[in-house]
Each structure stands twice: as structure tokens, then as C-alpha cells.
């Protein structure tokens, strides 16, 4: 009877004490690979380029080359498709025909940040400054008085492209946005958090040395001279540049026990990186596997590189064509019979902010990967709700593969809410569920995750790709 009682109850337990020494070695090794990835790659373009290098090492071939040479593709073959270094799709062709459906992992590569305005450079009282326009949901007050780095791509009129990364090497200079001194801040301190620092206040300081011999805007002239000497860049090039201002410096181990990671852009590179590793690890799958890593989630999944774009569907069509099974109807069948884990981070229960979550339905650090049957706001508005039978299937797979999972809502009812890319893929009629890991300080310049959850998420992805 006592065993029976155990089986009747579901307790979501902290996973740390269940690990063997070997588990712990694998867990910390994975945490370190991930920490280095997010330290090195802070824009969607940097992520895609690094991921392609890893995929090619694992035997993935560019679909463009395969299309050009009309190469036949079959079971076990590995293919990737890159859209402008912003969206990346990886396929591993299964034994079963693609028309029977694929096992999909999806996550996003874009993160909240400060972009530059198209005409950003100006001079004010002997400072060269840059105007920014924030991207995604940011609390603006978090971005002042901290070291910032400049990452991006400058496309020039002659067709050449220059990549910038300034502020990551410890010997590099950094830039930043000054805050008001507390001594003169009595007016500012009375304002609401949302109004104390405004969008137009987020101006980057670039330098303060005047160029000798110039008549006016001498400091700006000096910065332009530096940019030209180092990158061959002129002021008009800012118009065709994608430059992102992000927190400077590497992600770090967090906590004296090194159980967590603090780093920029963990929403949603924490899921994107785990998806990549799982996709590369699972070879010769039964069903075709695919990992979809998209841009623009933070601003509504819009545009050619966002999940709403036809890119993924088009690439499935191309893959089916190379496999000799493309038809419009077969494509629809492949999409509707697919199953997906749509991965994105969720709010982790935080002892500093206990009231925003409902304790029985909150995600906790150290309790494993989180499955969320639905997201959305108010009365589940905007939610993709996963089918009960699909959730049951995932429970079975996770139990068989010994994956520790938990379940949660994003937060207390009526406090806010959010969405992911799940509902967009669900439009094809496929099974989709939200999953991810809990995060503290989500969307802050430095976000925090638990290495145990990262490890369980990676295990969950491998189990899903092999067994769904
Ligand atoms: Mn996200
Ligand atoms: Mn987000």
C-alpha cells in the first residue's frame, strides 16, 4: 500500500541529488560548452555562423549546393539551410518517408538589445555619441551605467561586408550609457521605473578626443577617422549596417557552487544551443528530424527571417524534392503529421519576487526541463494549447529516457503573459508544445539559468528526436 501511495502522487523533485559523478561531469561539461557559445555569439548572425561550422563538422551539407547539383538525398543524410545568417534549419533525413511527419525542435536566436538608428552618429559638447533604438522588451533603466559592446555587420555600397565585434577582448575598449548621479537625481527618483529612462535617453558615448585641424564636430570627425582606418567604413555605411549594442564580457558561472550561469541572450539561445547539440547528436533517426532556429521572435516573429516567414516550409519542400517525394499534398502531409517541441525560456520561481507566480504551477531552478501545455495571457489568449494525447506521449518518452521534467504556467493569471513561436507551427495542424527552462532576470542584460535544467533540456531533446 505504501508503494501504491507513492505511485499515486506526483512530486516534482530537485534533480541535483539524483546525479552520479558521471552525470555531473557530463552536466558541467555541457554547461561549459554552452557558456562559451553564448560568450562568443551575441547576435543572431554570430550564432548562425558558429552553428553552421559545428553542423558542417558533423557532416551537414548546404541545401543550396545540393539543389544546384541536383544531388539525391536519402535516409541518414544531413542538410542545412541558412537564410541570410539569421535563420538556420537543420535536417537529418529519417528511415521513414518525410510524408509521415518530422520531429521538430524550434527556438529563437534573437535577443533584446539596443540597435543603432540609421543615422546614429552625432556630437554633443565634445562627445561623439550614437542614437539607439531598443529591440524587444527591455527595462530601459537596466541598460545604463554598464560596459557595452558593439557587434554587427556593415554592408557597403561596393558589395563588401565587414563584421564588427568591439568590447569582448579584455584589452578592447567598451562603450556605454551614463546614468544621472544620485546627488542630482531627486526629480528622476520620483518617476516611475518605466519613465525614469526613456528610449531617446539611451545614447551611447563613443569618444571625446577632437581631431586636429577640423573646424566643427571635431570629436565625431575623429571617430569617423578611426572607423575608416579600422573598418574602411564611412558615415553613410551606418544606413546599411546592422549593429547591435549588447552587454560586454563573457557569461560566467553563477553561485559559489557553480550551479548556474549568468549571461547575455540566454532567452532563447539556451534552447537554441541545446537544440543544435541534440540535432547533431541524433544520427540515422527513424523519423526525419529538424531544428528550426529563427530570428525576430522578440518583435512578433515577423519578416523574412521570423517564424511567420515561409522559409521553413519552402526548405521542407526543397528537401522533399531532393528526396524525390515532393508534391504539394505530400508537403502538407509532412507538416501536419509532424511533432514539435517549441522551446523558449519561462519565468523561474524567484525568492526575491515570489508574488508573481502561483507556487503549484511555477517553474523552479533545478527541477528540470519545463513543459507548458499552454502560454498566452488572460483567458489563455494567444495560446497554443497542446493536445492532451501529445502531452501523454511526451510523458512516456521522458520516463523511458529518464529525463527530469516539470510543468508550469508563465505566471499568475492576469498579471501579464507572453507567447512563443508555438502557435505559428501549430497552424499546419501538427502537435506542438512549449518547453524550455526557467530563467531569473529574463530580458535583463544578464540572465540566469540552472545548469541542471540545461542538462535535462538537452536530454529531453535527444529523447524526443529519437522516440517521438
Ligand atoms: Mn524567448
Ligand atoms: Mn523573450
Per-residue pLDDT tens digits for 202-256? 999 999 999 998 789 999 999 999 999 999 999 999 999 999 999 999 999 999 9
- Chain segment 173-182, per-residue pLDDT in tens: 999 999 999 9
Kindly identify the ligand whose nearest atom is closest to the C-alpha of 444: 2
pLDDT at 4 over 80: no
36-51: buried (b, 16+ CB within 10 Å) or exposed (e) per residue? Answer: ebbbebbbbbbbbeeb
Q: Are 292 and 106 in contact (CB under 8 A)?
A: yes
Q: How far is the CA of 103 from the centre of ligand 1 (A)?
A: 21
The rounded Å distance from CA 271 to ligand 1 centre is 9
Q: pTM of whole model > 0.85?
A: yes
Question: How many angstroms separate the alpha carbon of residue 413 from the centre of ligand 1?
Answer: 19
Mode of pairing for the β-strands spanning 260-263 and 252-254 = antiparallel
State the pLDDT at residue 2. Answer: 58
The residue with cell 560566467 is: 252
Spacing, Cα 389 to ligand 2 middle (Å): 28
Model confidence at 1: pLDDT above 60: no
pLDDT, tens only, 373-412: 998 889 888 888 999 999 999 999 999 999 999 999 988 8
Measured in Å, residue 102 CA sits from the centre of ligand 1 at 23
Tens-place pLDDT, residues 255-270: 999 999 999 999 999 9
Instruction: Give CA–CA dist 299/380, Å, rounded.
Output: 20
- Taking the CA of 112 as reference, the closest ligand is 2
User: Whose CA is closest to 234, among 302, 157, 130?
Assistant: 157
Which ligand gives the minimal distance to the CA of 345? Answer: 1
Distance between Cα 269 and ligand 2 center (Å): 10
Amino acid at each position: 500500500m505504501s508503494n501504491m501511495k507513492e505511485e499515486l502522487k506526483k512530486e516534482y523533485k530537485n534533480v541535483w541529488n539524483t546525479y552520479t559523478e558521471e552525470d555531473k561531469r557530463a552536466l558541467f561539461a555541457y554547461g561549459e560548452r554552452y557558456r562559451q557559445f553564448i560568450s562568443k555569439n551575441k547576435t543572431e548572425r554570430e550564432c548562425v555562423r558558429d552553428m553552421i561550422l559545428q553542423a558542417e563538422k558533423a557532416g551537414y551539407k548546404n541545401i543550396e549546393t545540393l539543389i544546384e547539383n541536383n544531388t539525391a538525398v536519402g535516409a541518414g543524410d544531413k542538410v542545412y539551410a541558412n537564410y541570410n545568417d539569421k535563420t538556420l534549419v537543420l535536417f537529418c533525413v529519417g528511415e521513414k518517408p518525410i510524408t509521415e511527419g518530422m520531429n521538430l525542435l524550434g527556438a529563437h536566436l534573437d535577443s533584446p538589445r539596443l540597435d543603432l538608428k540609421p543615422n546614429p552618429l552625432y556630437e554633443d559638447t565634445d562627445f561623439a555619441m550614437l542614437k539607439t533604438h531598443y529591440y524587444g522588451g527591455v527595462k530601459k533603466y537596466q541598460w545604463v551605467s554598464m560596459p557595452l559592446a558593439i557587434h554587427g555587420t556593415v554592408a557597403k555600397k561596393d558589395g563588401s561586408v565587414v563584421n564588427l565585434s568591439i568590447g569582448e577582448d579584455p584589452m578592447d575598449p567598451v562603450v556605454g550609457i551614463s546614468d544621472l548621479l544620485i546627488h542630482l537625481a531627486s526629480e528622476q527618483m520620483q518617476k516611475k521605473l518605466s519613465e525614469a529612462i526613456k528610449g531617446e535617453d539611451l545614447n551611447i558615448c563613443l569618444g571625446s578626443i577632437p581631431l586636429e585641424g577640423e573646424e566643427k564636430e571635431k570629436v565625431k570627425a575623429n571617430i569617423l577617422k578611426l572607423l575608416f582606418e579600422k573598418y574602411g567604413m564611412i558615415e553613410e555605411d551606418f544606413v546599411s549596417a546592422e549593429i547591435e549594442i549588447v552587454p560586454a564580457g563573457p557569461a560566467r558561472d553563477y553561485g559559489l557552487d557553480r550551479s548556474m550561469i549568468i549571461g547575455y541572450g540566454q532567452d532563447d539561445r539556451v534552447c537554441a544551443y541545446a537544440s543544435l547539440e541534440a540535432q547533431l547528436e541524433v544520427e540515422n533517426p527513424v523519423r526525419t528530424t529538424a531544428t528550426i532556429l529563427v530570428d525576430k521572435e522578440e518583435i512578433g516573429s515577423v519578416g523574412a527571417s521570423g517564424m511567420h516567414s515561409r522559409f521553413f516550409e519552402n526548405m521542407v519542400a526543397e528537401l522533399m524534392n531532393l528526396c524525390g517525394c515532393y508534391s504539394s499534398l505530400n508537403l502538407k502531409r509532412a507538416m501536419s503529421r509532424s511533432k514539435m517541441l517549441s522551446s523558449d525560456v519561462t519565468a523561474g520561481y524567484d525568492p526575491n519576487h515570489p508574488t508573481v507566480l502561483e507556487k503549484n504551477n511555477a517553474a523552479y531552478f533545478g527541477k528540470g526541463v519545463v513543459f507548458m501545455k499552454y502560454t498566452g495571457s488572460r483567458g489563455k489568449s494567444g495560446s497554443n494549447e497542446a493536445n492532451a494525447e501529445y502531452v501523454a506521449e511526451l510523458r512516456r518518452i521522458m520516463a523511458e529516457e529518464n529525463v527530469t521534467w516539470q510543468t508550469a504556467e508563465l505566471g499568475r493569471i492576469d498579471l501579464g503573459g507572453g507567447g512563443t513561436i508555438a502557435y505559428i507551427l501549430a497552424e499546419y495542424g501538427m502537435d506542438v508544445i512549449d518547453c524550455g527552462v526557467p530563467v531569473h532576470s529574463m530580458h535583463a542584460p544578464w540572465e540566469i539559468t540552472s545548469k541542471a535544467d540545461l542538462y535535462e533540456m538537452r536530454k529531453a531533446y535527444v529523447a524526443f528526436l529519437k522516440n517521438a
